[in-house]
């Protein structure tokens, strides 16, 4: 069976590497990008099963990415999980209004809870 693909868009290497290592370990195909622009370029070649999206990134931030994704037919249905340190109501609400599937605050969630949630979301697909 073909591995499910996850794209991690995260500018912070420590977060990026830890997630990548663990998710590969869990049996997923993982691609990492370091900003929103790189993510959009990559999405032209790949249509992943899940996008893990940091909201504060250089070049193109997560909110801008979400706006663009909404407009691309093939990508509209790809689930997006925000993994961010922005935890205020207005930020969460803004992301939700842009069609985010789940919103996780990094410093509030335990690492394993995040992994569990990713696996759960992917298992439904």
Partner 1 sequence: MLAQQTRVQDTLANSLDYLLEGCQIISFDFRYLYVNTTVAKQGKSSKKELLGHTMMEMYPGIEKTEFFAKLRDCMINRKLSVIENEFIFPDGSKKWFELRIEPVPEGVIIFSIDINAKKATETKLRKTYLQDEVILESIGEGLIVTDQYGKTTMINRAAQEMLGYIPEEVLGQQVITWLSMQDESGHTILNRDRPLSLVLNQSKPLMNITSYYIRKNKDRFPVNITITPIIIEGKLTGIIEVFRDISKEKAIDKAKTEFVSVASHALRTPLGIAKWYLEAISGEKYLHDAPDILINYLDEIYKNNERLLVLVRNLLSVSRIDQGKIKDVPKKIDVIEHIKLIVKDMQIAALKDHVSIILTIKHTDFPPLYIDPLRFREVLENLITNAIKYDTKNKPVEVIVDKKTNLLSISVKDQGIGISEEDKKKIFSKFFRAEKAISNNTEGSGLGLYVTKSYVEGWNGSITLLSKENKGSTFTIHLPIAPIPKT
Q: Which residues bind partner 1 (CB under 8 A)?
A: 12, 14-15, 18, 22, 85, 87-90, 93, 106-108, 110-112, 114
Buried b (16+ CB within 10 A) or exposed e, 16-36: beebbebbeeeebebbbbbbb
CB atoms within 10 A of CB 92: 17
Shortest separation between residue 72's beta carbon and partner 1, angstroms? 30
Choose between 21 and 46: whose C-beta lies nearer to partner 1.
21
Choose between 46 and 93: whose C-beta lies nearer to partner 1.
93
Helix or strand holding residue 84 (H, E): strand 80-84
Choose between 18 and 98: whose C-beta lies nearer to partner 1.
18
Shortest separation between residue 108's beta carbon and partner 1, angstroms? 8
Q: For residue 23, what are its two tokens?
A: 């998710």
Shortest separation between residue 107's beta carbon and partner 1, angstroms? 4
* Cα–Cα distance for residue pair 40/44, rounded to 1 Å: 7
Shortest separation between residue 45's beta carbon and partner 1, angstroms? 29
Choose between 8 and 78: whose C-beta lies nearer to partner 1.
8
Cβ–Cβ under 8 Å, residues 34 and 60: no
């Amino acid at each position: 069976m073909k591995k499910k693909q996850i794209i991690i868009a995260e500018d912070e290497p420590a977060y990026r590497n830890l997630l990548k290592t663990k998710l590969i370990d869990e049996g997923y195909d993982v691609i990492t990008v370091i900003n929103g622009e790189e993510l959009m370029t990559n999405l032209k070649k790949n249509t992943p099963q899940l996008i893990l999206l940091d909201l504060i990134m250089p070049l193109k931030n997560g909110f801008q990415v979400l706006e663009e994704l909404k407009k691309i037919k093939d990508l509209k249905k790809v689930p997006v999980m925000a993994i961010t340190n922005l935890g205020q109501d207005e930020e969460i609400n803004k992301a939700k209004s842009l069609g985010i599937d789940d919103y996780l605050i990094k410093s509030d969630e335990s690492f394993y809870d995040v992994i569990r949630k990713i696996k759960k979301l992917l298992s439904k697909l």
